[in-house]
Structure 1
């Protein structure tokens, strides 16, 4: 929707009875579908590797195939969905290598962001960051903690005034959400993360750029390595458990006759 009529911006127009305020734009159908699918993936209703049939999704939401395709493209760009030629879309698997790479990139970008933000922090922005840090520490629901965690990190970097950098960091937060939930499957990991958040906040409050960068980097790289180890060990355990089943189900080999 345009914010101008007959060449003048509505924001600067006088508030008169015959010029009503436009309602807030409604979310697009494709966005609603994407958010519903993302929530189902996060909660485990849609498991890794599960096919995402466009026709079934369209029937479920009573829509045409067009917004479903748009939603799947959006989820593919965020790492939630894999689309293969002649196979269609499916829920993306959690892979150790991707987890580690996401946090390596986050470490580089967020170290830069915090160094640019610290000189511009004010008492007000520091109070906001401290409040968000405390909210994350109190949060016990993993789904809500992910949002609190992102809000805290965003508040630390916002004063940098680098919108493109902020957009890249936000995209990595979305792509890494499922991996972050893996980390917070155990309470000790959350407690460690909360302590690291508090240390980062203290360095920002003290305007210690080098210390803040070192702490952010260690915090993110540590998370990446923890999730990498967890997923690697889980894959190895699953492979070991599946091996006897494969051997039991393998048909007996027919002896080869010489000269046949």
Structure 2
């Protein structure tokens, strides 16, 4: 998405949600702002490298600069924003290494979660998993697919009853959302992913812990490697294009008097 800045959020128009209450604690105000900006980054409204202008954000939310600065610091610690002295904040760029690392960590955590969950699955929980898997398979909209994909994965792990583990996995799902959306532009991704989900659910139904763990690890590591390769090749292509000399304009044609 080109030329996307916080001026186009649009931050100069009234927010669709009610404006923040004047009496809201500063901490909750900064978190509301951070949540809104994070959503805009995830859905592509704010593109990588887009400036996050404090004054525009403050006007949009009808707040002072203080909670905006706190929100930007929070987004920086989470990896969503880059803040440079004297230059302000920008949306963090997409990183091939970050994408791969997110899926590497997910593979370890989700392998643990599915191993803990399988012995506790019931007929009812398996029916829910199957329904969520079908919903993801039918979904063609990238934004909705990302949510349905996450719901399917989390349903596989829910019977484990490990809330801290689930929270960590959810955080990584959120961090990986804008990378997962890229896969929709890659050939055959959707069909392959749906097939892998079917295999994974079959292993859970059989209560085959080693097979389910191996499948979830392969599924997630494969996604990470695919995204790493795609982003690396795209960065190389962009660098090569930027290094090409710009064509010079033709000199003006000489004119003669009549």
Q: Normalising by the residue count of structure 1, what TM-score does the alignment of the two structures yield? A: 0.80
CA contact (8 A) 1:106 1:220 kept: yes
Using the TM superposition, name which of 160-169 and 213-222 deviates more.
Answer: 160-169
For 2:161 and 2:85, locate their aligned partners in 1 and report how far apart those are by CA, in whole Å.
Answer: 41
Secondary structure at the aligned position of 1:169 is classed as helix
Post-superposition CA distance 1:84-103 (Å, at most 9, x none):
34433210000111111110
Using the TM superposition, name which of 112-121 and 53-62 deviates more.
Answer: 53-62
Distance 1:182-1:69 versus aligned 2 partners, 3 A rule: same
Query: Mind listing any 5+ residue stretches in structure 1 that lack a counterpart?
Result: 1-27, 249-260
Which residue number corresponds to residue 207 of structure 2? 207
Which residue number corresponds to residue 19 of structure 1? none
Secondary structure at the aligned position of 2:47 is classed as coil
Query: Mind listing any 5+ residue stretches in structure 2 that lack a counterpart?
Result: 1-27, 249-258
For 1:148 and 1:157, locate their aligned partners in 2 and report how far apart those are by CA, in whole Å.
Answer: 15
- Structure 1 residue 205: Cα displacement: 0.7
- Structure 1 residue 31: Cα displacement: 4.0
Post-superposition CA distance 1:218-248 (Å, at most 9, x none):
0000000000010000001001101114798
Secondary structure at the aligned position of 2:185 is classed as coil
For 2:109 and 2:119, locate their aligned partners in 1 and report how far apart those are by CA, in whole Å.
Answer: 17
Which residue number corresponds to residue 10 of structure 1? none
Query: After the TM superposition, which residues 111-260 of structure 1 pair with which residues of structure 2 at under 5 Å, given as runs?
Result: 111-186=111-186, 188-245=188-245
Post-superposition CA distance 1:115-173 (Å, at most 9, x none):
01101111111111111111100111100111101111111111111111111111111
Task: Report the structure number with the largest CA radius of gyration.
Answer: 1
For 1:131 and 1:67, locate their aligned partners in 2 and report how far apart those are by CA, in whole Å.
Answer: 41
Which residue number corresponds to residue 50 of structure 1? 50
Distance 1:167-1:192 versus aligned 2 partners, 3 A rule: same
Q: CA RMSD in A?
A: 2.0
Secondary structure at the aligned position of 1:90 is classed as strand
Which residue number corresponds to residue 256 of structure 2? none
Which residue number corresponds to residue 8 of structure 2? none
For 1:76 and 1:223, locate their aligned partners in 2 and report how far apart those are by CA, in whole Å.
Answer: 25
For 2:70 and 2:185, locate their aligned partners in 1 and report how far apart those are by CA, in whole Å.
Answer: 32
Which residue number corresponds to residue 105 of structure 2? 105
Secondary structure at the aligned position of 1:176 is classed as helix
Query: After the TM superposition, which residues 35-114 of structure 1 pair with which residues of structure 2 at under 5 Å, given as runs?
Result: 35-114=35-114
For 1:32 and 1:131, locate their aligned partners in 2 and report how far apart those are by CA, in whole Å.
Answer: 32
Using the TM superposition, name which of 122-131 and 203-212 deviates more.
Answer: 122-131
